[in-house]
Chains A and B, each alone.
Chain A
Amino acid sequence: GAVVSQHPSRVICKSGTSVKIECRSLDFQATTMFWYRQFPKKSLMLMATSNEGSKATYEQGVEKDKFLINHASLTLSTLTVTSAHPEDSSFYICSARTGLAGPYDTQYFGPGTRLTVL
C-alpha cells in the first residue's frame, strides 16, 4: 500500500515552454503533498507544501510564479514549471502523507521526474 506515482518520469522541453508534472497517491488520500528538487550531488530540497483545496506554502527562495502548485483533490497535486529555462533543469520529486500529525507521519514518495530544458 501507500503508492505514489509521478508522471512523466522524464521530460525534455524547449526554453520558454511550460511543463506540468503530476503526483498521484494511488491507494490513499493525501492530506498533504510535498514537492522537492534535487540538484546534482545535493540533498533533496523542499520547494513547497500543499494541502488539498488551499494554496501551497512555498519555501524561502522558491518563486511561486515560476513553480505553480495545484492540489485539486486528495489524490492529485501538480507542479507546473512556467516558462522553463535551462537553469530549471533538475530532478523533481513529490511525496504525500495521509495523517494530520505533521512531522510524525510517514511520507510516501513518487519516483521523481527528470526535467531537461534545452
Chain B
Amino acid sequence: ILNVEQSPQSLHVQEGDSTNFTCSFPSSNFYALHWYRWETAKSPEALFVMTLNGDEKKKGRISATLNTKEGYSYLYIKGSQPEDSATYLCASFSGGYQKVTFGTGTKLQVIP
C-alpha cells in the first residue's frame, strides 16, 4: 500500500450503537500512526499516537488498535453519541522519519 486509506468514507449510526473504522497504511519503514477527530469549523483534536505492533489505546469510549505487520489500525467507538459526530483522520509516519501521509478520513454521523 503506497497511500493511507480509510474506510468507510462515511457512515451513519444510531445513538447508542458501537462502530469501528479502518486505516490502512504502508507497513514498511513504519514509525507511528496518529488518530485525530475533526469536528466542522474546529481544529483537529489528537486522539492517539500509536507506535508498537499490538498497541491498544483507549480514551473514554474510543479505543484503537494497531497492526504494523499488516499495516492497519482500527478505531472503535462504543455506544456512539451525537457529540461523536466528526471526521476521524489517521496519519501514518512511514517511509521516513518526518514523512507523514494523512488518510481522507471517515465521516461519522450519529443520529439521535
Residues on A facing B (Cβ under 8 Å):
4, 34, 36, 41-46, 49, 57, 93, 95, 102-112
Contact = CB atoms under 8 A, between A and B. Distances in A.
B49 A104 contact: yes
Q: How large is the interface on B (under 10, 10 to 19, 20 to 34, 35 or more residues)?
A: 20 to 34
A103 B100 CA distance: 8
B66 interface: no
Interface of B: 4, 31-32, 34, 36, 41-46, 49, 51, 89, 91, 93, 97-98, 100-105
B42 A44 contact: no
Contact of B98 (A4, A44, A95, A102): A102
A36 B34 CA distance: 16
Contacts of A46: 100
Contacts of A49: 98
Given A43-B101, A109-B43, 5 more contacts: A42-B104, A43-B89, A43-B104, A44-B89, A108-B43
A4 B34 contact: no
A108 B93 CA distance: 16
5 contacts: A57-B98, A102-B93, A103-B31, A103-B98, A111-B41
A111 B45 CA distance: 10
Nearest to A102: B97
Given A43-B4, A44-B89, A102-B97, A107 B104 contact: no
Contact of B32 (A4, A57, A103, A110): A103
Nearest to B93: A103
